[in-house]
Amino acid sequence: MYSEKVMDHFSNPRNVGEIPGANGVGTVGNAKCGDIMRMFLKVENGIIVDVKFKTFGCGAAIATSSMATEMVKGKSLKEALQLTNKAVAEALDGLPPVKMHCSLLAEEAIHAAVEDYLKNHPEEAIDL
């Protein structure tokens, strides 16, 4: 049911863990629904220089978290805010329909972490 890419990112997740001293942290999801994602960002000069995640959830939740971190690493905050769940799903060669909400969570987790950073750096939000 899962593509090879999903299985690859599930079994060898990239950027798993946390960043000590992260300056943007976002948590989305709900244990009741079975998925929680937490993204940690290290932002320098408007660029995401490091990103890590921790996820409680199914195979798709872990794979989309992993892929989303790969897609925003080294990117600007503006680019990270443009990340869509569709792009994450496509990068994984697709997801089963019932699992599309996992890619949405990944998008929301990245956005939440960026917004957390911007909350403490409101001057940078003006440029976006």
Partner 1 sequence: MDRIYMDNAATTAIAPEALAAMLPCFGQVYGNASSIHSTGRDARKLVEEARRKIADALGAKPGEIYFTSGGSESDNWAIKGAAFANRRKGNHIITSSIEHHAVLHTCQWLEKQGFEVTYLPVDEYGMVRTEDVEKAITDQTILISIMAANNEIGTIQPVAEIGKIAKAHKIIFHCDAVQAVGAVPVNVDSWNVDMLSLSGHKFHGPKGVGALYIRSGVKVEPFLHGGAQERGKRASTENVPGIVGMAAALEKAVNNLEENGIRLTYLRDKLIKGILENIPYTRLNGHPLQRLPGNVNVSILYVEGEALLLRLDLAGIAASSGSACTSGSLDPSHVLLAIGLPHEVAHGSLRLSLSDVNTEEEVDEVLKVLPRIVSTLRSMSPMYDDFLQGKNLTAK
Catalytic residues: 33, 102
- Closer Cβ to partner 1, 18 or 78, answer by number: 18
Instruction: Give the distance from CA 31 to its chain's centroid.
Output: 17
Question: Rounded to an integer, what distance in angstroms lies between the CA atom of residue 91 and that of residue 5?
Answer: 8
Asked whether position 54 contacts partner 1 by CB under 8 A, the answer is yes
In the complex, minimum distance from the CB of residue 16 to partner 1, in angstroms, rounded to a whole number? 5
Q: If we measure between CA atoms, which residue out of 65, 58, 56, 62 comes closest to residue 85?
A: 65
Stretch that binds partner 1, among 41-49, 52-60, 75-83, 114-122 (CB under 8 A): 52-60
Q: How many residues bind partner 1 (CB under 8 A)?
A: 29
User: Number of C-alpha atoms within 13 angstroms, CB side, residue 59?
Assistant: 15
In the complex, minimum distance from the CB of residue 62 to partner 1, in angstroms, rounded to a whole number? 6
User: Number of C-alpha atoms within 13 angstroms, CB side, residue 60?
Assistant: 22
Asked whether position 104 contacts partner 1 by CB under 8 A, the answer is no
The one among 9, 57, 92, 105 contacting partner 1 by CB under 8 A? 57
Question: Rounded to an integer, what distance in angstroms lies between the CA atom of residue 33 and that of residue 68?
Answer: 20
* Residues within the interface to partner 1 (CB under 8 A): 7, 10-11, 13, 16, 18, 27-38, 54-62, 98-99
